[in-house]
Amino acid sequence: MDHGFTFTPPPFITSFTELLSGGAGGDMQAVGADESSPRVFSRGGVPKFKSAKPPSLPISPSSYFAIPAGLSPAELLDSPVLLSSYNILASPTTGAIPCQRYDWKVSADLFASQKDADFSDFSFHTNSDAAAAQATSFPSFKEQEQQVVEVSKSIASSKNGGGHNGGNKLEDGYNWRKYGQKQVKGSENPRSYYKCTYHTCSMKKKVERSLADGRITQIVYKGAHNHPKPLSTRRNASSGCAAAASAEDLGCVLSASGAGQDQYSAATPENSSVTFGDDDADIASHRSHGDEPEAKRLKEDGDNEGSSGGSGKPVREPRLVVQTLSDIDILDDGFRWRKYGQKVVKGNPNPR
C-alpha cells in the first residue's frame, strides 16, 4: 500500500561508546519511557505471527561470532567488530538503509542507564528477516515478521525506578494505543496489546510486564510502521526507529530482539540473535532449532537463569553472539558471507 514514503535517518552513530556517552544523536534519551519501537517491518496487511515467510536466502544453521570473554559491554560496544558491523550501508540487496542504528542507540541508552549494573544477563535477540531490518519505511517489504525485545529479569535494580509508563506516547517516539491486556498461559506477567495510533499504520506490539515491579519483561513487535515517527514535544522523539523499551521502563535491563535491529540487517534472514552472557550460547542454540516461540524460549531461559543462579545475578563474562541461519548471510558489515563448514566445538553446544 502506501509507497513513496521516504525516511531520513538521523546521523549515524559510529560506536556504542559514543552512544553510551550520549554523544551521538542525543535524541534518544531514556527518559521515563516505556516501550520501544519496531525493528522489523513487514508490511501492511495483517501480519500473523506464524505466517512469517521464509527469507529469500537459503537457510541453514549458522554462524556466529563471539566477543572474547572478559570484554566489557562498553568495550564490546566500542569494539571494531561492532564498529564494522555498525557501519551499515544500504542493504546490499535492496539498497534500503536500515534503521537499526536507532535500535542500537536505544540499546545503548539502556546500557548507559544500567552500565553500573550487571550486564551478564543482557541479551539481545533478533528474530526476523534481514530485509526486515530495513525498517520503517519499507512498505514494499511484504513478509511478516515479529521482533522480540526481551528484558532480562535477573538484573536486580532499576536506576530509574522502573515501571510504568504514562500515556500512549512511548519511548520509541510512536504513539501507541492499548487495545487489550491478557494473562497468557505460561507467564505470570500480563501481556498488553498496543497498536500504533497512526490511522493507516498496522504496527502492533505486545508488552509483558512483571507483576512484581512493573518492569517490562518482553516486547514483541508485529508489523511495520508505514509512516514517519511523529514529532514529539515530550522528549526527544528520536528514538529513532528504534526500538527498545525505555530504560526506565525496562528498569535498565534490556535484552532486545527483533528484527529491526541491526544485527538485524546483519542478520539474517529470519533468525538471528545477539546475546550477552554466558548462557547465551545455549539460548542461541535453542533458538536455532525448535519451534517454540522465541519470546517464550527467551523468557524461560531467563527464568531458569534466575532460579539457578540463586542470587539472580549470575556472574558471567559478557559475550556477544550473533547467530544466523542462512548459508549466505548478509551481515551488517555489508558483506555477503557464505558458510563453508560447520563443526561442533568441544565445550560449546553450538555448532560453529
Partner DNA sequence: AAACTTTGACCGGGT
Partner DNA sequence: TACCCGGTCAAAGTT
Q: Distance of CA 26 to CAs 75, 99, 170, 238, Å?
A: 20, 16, 17, 8
Question: Cα dihedral sign for 292, 262, 319, 302?
Answer: negative
Answer whether 288's CB lies under 8 Å from 282's CB. Answer: no
Q: How far is the CB of 185 from DNA (least distance, A)?
A: 3
Q: How far is the CB of 202 from DNA (least distance, A)?
A: 9
Backbone angles phi, psi at 316, to 5 degrees: -140, 165
- Single residue of 50, 338, 343, 346 touching DNA by CB under 7 A: 50
Closer residue to DNA in complex, CB, 213/327:
213
* Residue ranges in 208-267 that form contacts with DNA under rule CB under 7 A: none
Closer residue to DNA in complex, CB, 84/168:
168
Task: Kindly state whether residue 54 participates in binding DNA, applying the rule CB under 7 A.
Answer: no
Q: How far is the CB of 293 from DNA (least distance, A)?
A: 8
- Single residue of 80, 185, 231, 345 touching DNA by CB under 7 A: 185
- Residue 201: name the closest of 181, 179, 174, 164 by CA: 174
- Nine cell digits for residue 232: 514529539
Q: How many residues bind DNA (CB under 7 A)?
A: 21
Contact residues for 94 (Cβ-Cβ < 8 A; gap 6+): 131, 134, 138
- Single residue of 39, 125, 191, 316 touching DNA by CB under 7 A: 191
- Residue 104: name the closest of 268, 323, 261, 324 by CA: 261
Task: Kindly state whether residue 53 participates in binding DNA, applying the rule CB under 7 A.
Answer: no
- Nine cell digits for residue 17: 561508546
Question: Cα dihedral sign for 71, 121, 321, 174?
Answer: negative
Q: How far is the CB of 33 from DNA (least distance, A)?
A: 13
Backbone angles phi, psi at 229, to 5 degrees: -70, 135
Q: How far is the CB of 165 from DNA (least distance, A)?
A: 8
Task: Kindly state whether residue 49 participates in binding DNA, applying the rule CB under 7 A.
Answer: yes
Distance between CA atoms of residues 236 and 294, nearest Å: 31
Q: Which stretch binds DNA (CB under 7 A): 191-199, 243-251, 263-271, 298-306?
A: 191-199
Closer residue to DNA in complex, CB, 50/338:
50
Closer residue to DNA in complex, CB, 89/184:
184
- Residue 33: name the closest of 193, 170, 235 by CA: 170
- Residue 198: name the closest of 173, 216, 180 by CA: 173
Closer residue to DNA in complex, CB, 49/335:
49
User: What is the pattern of x (binds DNA, CB under 7 A) and - over residues 164-183?
Assistant: ---xx------xxxxxxxx-
Which run of H or of E encompasses 208?
strand 204-209
Closer residue to DNA in complex, CB, 205/287:
205
Task: Kindly state whether residue 193 participates in binding DNA, applying the rule CB under 7 A.
Answer: yes
Task: Kindly state whether residue 206 participates in binding DNA, applying the rule CB under 7 A.
Answer: yes
* Residue ranges in 108-167 that form contacts with DNA under rule CB under 7 A: 167
Q: How far is the CB of 242 from DNA (least distance, A)?
A: 20
Site residues, DNA (CB under 7 A): 49-50, 167-168, 175-182, 184-186, 191-193, 197, 204, 206
